[in-house]
Structure 1
Amino acid sequence: MSGPTLFQRLRQTLGRALRETGQALDRVGIKGQSLATTKRIYGDDPVIYEDFLSRHRHQMPLLRRGKPIVSKDVAFLAPCSTLIGSVYIGAGSSVFYKAILRADACENANVFSKSEEDFDQTTLEDHVWQLPENPLPSARGGGIFIGQDTNVQDGCIIDSAKGHTKIGNGVTIGHLASIHSATIEDHCLIGMGSLIQEGALIKQESFIAAGANVGKNTVVESGELWVGNPARKLRDLSVEERQKLHSQANEYVNVASNQRDAMLLGGNIPESLSQYLYPGHETEFEIENVQETEPPAIADEEDRIKA
């Protein structure tokens, strides 16, 4: 067997040089990131160079299936959430950690060629996804439309494989809930771990209890509470309970807004509290304005016994 040619030697040498250069850049990047987020002092552990580089795609555009469109005024999108295909997120809405919104079978993504201003003025009644037939037989699904001030909590799965998924304004979708090609109108609450199947319609100010299974093509009228598997109507919501659905959605807008800068250096922790990010160095700081209060005096023996 003959020896390697000059071209083969050059290719091997160049390849090794590129790999070593990449490893060196990776070490520099990890060191810079580690030093930027910690206060290192003499005697601390050495910088760890072996670190996992996440290549998670937060927003995934698809050819002929559309791309995610997110309002510039969105409250919060968690870095580990996933938006795939024809997904629209309105102003003030939030998608929390490990939630997945998958619209990878939209019949025609041309609907998302409209400007963002047009979508901001679009409501659920406008039927923004009445699309022409796509020649590709594999695409028979729809898109996902989420209105304003709606929160999609941790671990939720929303898809549109059988048709469009339309979620209105001020909707609260609890942890680990699943919604498949359904319509949810304004100011509803979808409980944790519940399942909304294809074709279901949840009208405004309704409450789907945790763990409920709403069957295909089920219609939940406005202001109703549904529970169980299969889900059934339990009762009508009171006026106070309906008002709470509005306030709860508003609270989540505030919670999401507080996490908007979580991925920045220092996160959303104010500078005055930054010392608490570094365990082991608490003695270097002094806590000011701490006032001790004495417990109230007990009036008599009877109060002392009760206490």
Structure 2
Amino acid sequence: MTDDLSARYPGAHFVPIHGKTPRIHETAFIAPGSTIIGDVEIGAGSSIWYNCVVRADVFTIRIGERTNVQDGSVLHCDPPRPDDPEGSPLVIGDDVLIGHMAMVHGCIIHDRGFVGLGAIAMNKAVIGSDAMLAAGAMLTERKVMGERELWAGRPAKKLKELSDAAIAGMKMGVAHYAENAKHHADAVRDALG
């Protein structure tokens, strides 16, 4: 199966581990230099950009449809343990934007959530629908961002409710990345295929 993925996504790396192999929708874009490991599912129209690591070696990572994980980001999870029998899977919804160099670990990001450049979201944190974690912010364990909230700082705290214009801007970003991924898929195929 990884041979099929490597042929479909030249320059990307796919690693099965513990009997789990990444499952990626045929319409997703996985950029060269990215590494996808273990029990990962990536939905239709989603994109994993250059030099990202998506490592589900100890638990599960689920990425919905039309979500983009931008260059250099790291996604991971934590397994169930005696003091935490549910563990910390990473669950990312549809139409999510994850900015460059973000670290997203064992949290939940609801549909249309936004993680800014270089931001960190930790185990069991929750980013609500249409909510934005600002660039450079750190959402600590178990913090819950409500719908349409903007949080910033280290540790992150709620700043305000997002305007309709801000929400519309995030939707435009999702559409841009979905379209741009098609162009990059063609360019990569031409260059490496």
* TM-score of the pair, normalised by structure 1: 0.55
Write the letter of the residue equivalent to 1:156: S
CA distance in 1, matches of 2:78, 2:63: 16
Structure 2 residue aligned with 1:259: 184
Unmatched 5+ stretches in structure 1: 1-55, 106-141, 268-307
State the shift of 1:145 in Å.
0.3
User: For 1:142-181, what aligned pairs fall within 5 Å after superposition?
Assistant: 142-162=59-79, 163-181=88-106
User: For 1:33-112, what aligned pairs fall within 5 Å after superposition?
Assistant: 58-64=13-19, 66-74=20-28, 76-105=29-58
State the shift of 1:264 in Å.
3.0
Structure with greater strand percent: 2
CA distance in 1, matches of 2:39, 2:55: 8
Structure 1 residue aligned with 2:5: none
Structure 2 residue aligned with 1:48: none
Q: Secondary structure in 1 aligned to 2:78?
A: coil
CA RMSD between the two structures: 1.6
Matched, 1:194 2:119: yes
CA distance in 2, matches of 1:221, 1:263: 38
1:225 to 132, 147, 150: 150
Write the letter of the residue equivalent to 1:81: S
CA distance in 1, matches of 2:78, 2:65: 23
State the shift of 1:263 in Å.
2.9
CA distance in 1, matches of 2:170, 2:48: 18
CA distance in 2, matches of 1:143, 1:168: 14
State the shift of 1:213 in Å.
0.5
**Farther-moved stretch of structure 1 (242-251 vs 180-189):** 242-251
Write the letter of the residue equivalent to 1:99: C
CA distance in 2, matches of 1:215, 1:263: 37
Unmatched 5+ stretches in structure 2: 1-10, 80-87
2:160 to 215, 218, 235: 235
CA distance in 2, matches of 1:93, 1:248: 13
State the shift of 1:266 in Å.
4.9
Count of residues in correspondence between the two structures: 175
Shift in CA distance, 244/57, structure 1 to aligned 2, threshold 3 Å: closer
Write the letter of the residue equivalent to 2:65: Q
Write the letter of the residue equivalent to 1:72: E
State the shift of 1:244 in Å.
1.6
* TM-score of the pair, normalised by structure 2: 0.87
Matched, 1:212 2:137: yes
Q: Secondary structure in 2 aligned to 1:175?
A: coil
- Per-residue CA deviation, residues 66-122 of structure 1 (Å, 9 max, x unaligned), is 110000111x111210100000110000000110000001xxxxxxxxxxxxxxxxx
8 Å Cα contact 2:12-2:32 kept in structure 1 = no
Structure with greater helix percent: 1
Percent of matched pairs sharing the same residue: 36
CA distance in 2, matches of 1:100, 1:167: 15
8 Å Cα contact 2:134-2:152 kept in structure 1 = yes
